[in-house]
Chains A and B, each alone.
Chain A
Amino acid sequence: MLGSLSGSRLRRTAAGYALITPAMAVAIAFLFIPIALSAYWSMTEYNGLTPPHWVGFHNYTYLLSEPQFTKAVKNTVIFVALGMTVGPALGLATALLLNEKVPWRGVFRTAYFLPVTASLVVVSVVWKLLLNEDGVVNAFIELFGIPGQAWLANSNTALPSVIVASIWQGLGFETVVFLAALQSIPAHLYDASKVDGAGSWARFRHVTLPGLRPTILFVFVIGIIGSFQVFDQVFVMTGGGPNEATRTIVFDLVERFRNLELGQASAVAYLLLLLLAALSLVQFWIDRRSRR
């Protein structure tokens, strides 16, 4: 009896390894090895042509003191802070509206989801067209007597423009996820709170929000990891300018690559990794604490 049990356990262990082997093989070849290689490069001075020269943590300390990089970090933080508050808030609001009994819900859901299926490059190209000085956005606001702007050429409006386009692109994803979560909250919880005489705000606060907690965590963890890596929009819409106003961390990385500063570029990635790992831990910690 015991023997056959451990035999089946052994079989299951073997099956486990067998099942992950293809995925792990791909991951090792095309994910772990490149990551290890760039981790090594981050400790060197290297241009891809002459052999790498070991410099220890110099790239890291150098980056942290370099205004260009700190500017990129600052812009990225603003991008994430605005994108990850306004975006999910709008998504939740839209989901709450879509959760009501209104006609055409399927149509609306598809409409909101539409931008998610387009690539960031495509979305950025389209927004570049809209935000053109002679574009339709300016034509629209000029109807209300507001003078048109050089949205992407002005250093005050470039980053906000990129943020708006990004929120627009991601809204559908957040909406659909929240909507799904709302629909999975058992109706009897709402009925119970109605019996207790709770108002709609109280119901939202005590039934809806707690019910959404795992989803909110999901949206934030995934969203923050994704938006800290913002690149395509900046690459297409502004090229990091004007005056570095839209220079983001990954844009900074790519530019160092272009200039063949492979050591520095790699170090940028690992600083970002550290930042993201720390943030994710903080989020899980907050979630655990607020659950008590």
Chain B
Amino acid sequence: MKRARAVVVIVAIAVVATTIAACGGSGGGGSEITVWDYYGSASPIKPAVEAFRKKYPEIKVNYQAIDYETIQDKFSVAVSSEAAPDVATLDMTWIPTYASQGLLANLSQLSGGKLNGKPIEGQYSKGALEAMSYNGDYVTMLSDFDAYALYYRADKFKEKGIAVPKNWEQFRQAASELAEIGSNGKPEKYAFQVLPDTFHFDQFLLQNKGSILDPEWNKAALDSPAGEGALEFFKGFLEDGSGILWGKDQGDSTGLPGIKDERIGMFLNGPYMMGVLKDGVPEQAGDWKIAPAPVGLQEGSYLGGTGLTIPVNAPDQKDAWTFVQFLLEERQQLDVYTDAGAAPATEAALASPALNKPDPFFGGERPFGIFRQALKTATPYPYVKSWTQIDRAVEDGVTSALLGENSAESALSNTAGRIDELLAQESE
């Protein structure tokens, strides 16, 4: 009897708590936009919301931090249930899948071709513009970009008399001179970080004049001599003991633990690593420098980053676009660098003196110019629906070759088969 009453009391409390807590959530009139942001604790968007409120008091912003790993699931469910947010940050890797499904609003139409009063074309680099458009229309606006350059331990280079590598041949040479091999034949210190993912493989593939898909995006093209050459070169770092395989199971693709204990002395990565290094290894200030990635047959890098997107069924697209424009003003773009440690994507921000002053952490050089240069020859991923799966297939294939489970040739032909399968399903 008493127990039953206790249960009733608990239920009653739960119901009351529900009512009270839920009341806080509902807002009054005026327009309100919901923003989903995956930048995390170092977000440049969160502080921008406050500034936006001052400039546009009539638009209320409902800011929601969503974690990077799960935002895709939430986004898919919400958009397909007519409960989409008005603005969402999405990784450029996912954009093809969403854009080809017609989930993203046509920003060319919404914007009338203008961003903050000026034509969009003048405000981004050519590669970035290409990355942002699908079927000739803009579907996202880049907030930060990712393109690769070479990070290296300048102090060790100097100590060992190694020249900064300009091409692949010198790259291989420099890596083997830099790495210190332990008694077990594995590199113990200052190895080149071999990240077995699509981004890094694409770096070598593009520079070897190859590509993952053919130009029409309806067939795999990586099972070519260019692809094999790229993969063999990549794998070479592990074969001669100058590279350290940094697998996905590390749970950390930055390599920070390895950088901290000096197992890693050189790596190819995007501008966000500048922030990671400054936060993670302040004791190595001045030891690192950044150089353009060593060039193969041509320059090249993958182009990624974070896109600001408006779902096709966002309730308030007009105000959403106002918010997106606000985030892309130079002032907020610079916060992408100061808060998130990433590289802003608009040309105006990239040219800003604030970003181009000598950086004492990187030996007093101006590293942003190098990334800006890389952005010029970087290539975005193809806009195909199953890109997320293709990306994983490439990563799996590259990993199996790097782990020595497969030869480069058979790994690539398996991967190509898998990609063709996925692309065939799409066209059905």
Contacts and interface: CB of A to CB of B under 8 A. Distances in A.
B91 to A, nearest CB: 13
B312 interface: yes
Contacts of A68: 421
A154 interface: yes
Nearest to A161: B249
B261 to A, nearest CB: 10
Contacts of B313: 49
B72 interface: yes
A259 B257 CA distance: 34
A171 to B, nearest CB: 24
A178 interface: no
B400 A242 contact: yes
A150 B403 CA distance: 9
A276 interface: no
B245 to A, nearest CB: 8
A43 interface: no
A243 B250 contact: no
A152 B76 CA distance: 27
A155 B395 contact: no
Contacts, number: 83
Interface in A115-172: 128-129, 131-134, 150-156
A152 B97 contact: no
B80 interface: yes
Given A242-B396, A260-B80, A128 B386 contact: no
B247 interface: yes
B427 interface: no
Contacts of B76: 257-260
B312 A153 contact: no
A186 to B, nearest CB: 32
Given A48-B81, A49-B312, A258-B73, A154 B405 contact: yes
Given A258-B72, A259-B97, A259-B385, A153 B247 contact: yes
Interface string B308-339: 00001100000000000000000000000000
Contacts of B399: 153, 242
Given A67-B421, A242-B399, A259-B385, A47 B249 contact: no
Interface of A, secondary structure class, is: loop
Interface string B386-428: 1011001101110110010100000000100000010001000
B250 A155 contact: no
A241 B396 contact: yes
B101 A153 contact: no
Interface residues of B, number: 37
B291 interface: no
Contact of A131 (B102, B245, B249, B395): B249
Interface of B, secondary structure class, is: helix
B103 interface: yes
A98 interface: no
Contact of B396 (A156, A243, A257, A260): A243
Nearest to A240: B392
Contact of A133 (B250, B312, B425): B250
B160 interface: no
B201 to A, nearest CB: 14
Given A243-B400, A257-B76, A152 B249 contact: yes
B90 to A, nearest CB: 13
Nearest to A62: B428
A58 to B, nearest CB: 10
The CB with the most chain B CB atoms within 10 A, among A129, A131, A152, A243, is that of A243
Interface string B367-395: 00000000000000000011011001101
The CB with the most chain A CB atoms within 10 A, among B247, B388, B395, B421, is that of B247
A188 B374 CA distance: 82
A255 B247 CA distance: 23
Contacts of B400: 155, 242-243
A91 B73 CA distance: 36
Interface string A10-54: 000000000000000000000000000000000000011100000
A262 interface: yes
A119 B76 CA distance: 25
Interface in B62-110: 72-73, 76-77, 79-81, 97, 101-103
The CB with the most chain A CB atoms within 10 A, among B81, B101, B421, is that of B101
B97 to A, nearest CB: 6
Contacts of B385: 259
Contacts of B425: 66
A135 to B, nearest CB: 8
A151 B79 CA distance: 36
Contacts of A244: 396
A66 B425 CA distance: 9
A108 B386 CA distance: 49
B248 interface: yes
B251 interface: yes
Contact of B80 (A49, A67, A128, A129): A49
A250 B370 CA distance: 45
B251 A132 contact: yes
A258 B70 CA distance: 11
19 contacts: A48-B79, A48-B80, A66-B425, A132-B250, A133-B247, A133-B249, A150-B403, A240-B392, A241-B396, A242-B400, A243-B400, A243-B414, A244-B396, A255-B389, A257-B73, A258-B73, A259-B76, A260-B80, A262-B80
Interface of A: 47-49, 66-68, 128-129, 131-134, 150-156, 239-244, 254-255, 257-260, 262
3 closest Cβ pairs, A-B complex? A48-B80, A243-B396, A152-B249
Given A66-B425, A68-B421, A257-B77, 16 more contacts: A47-B80, A48-B81, A129-B251, A133-B245, A133-B250, A134-B257, A150-B249, A150-B403, A154-B403, A239-B392, A240-B392, A243-B400, A255-B389, A257-B73, A257-B76, A259-B101
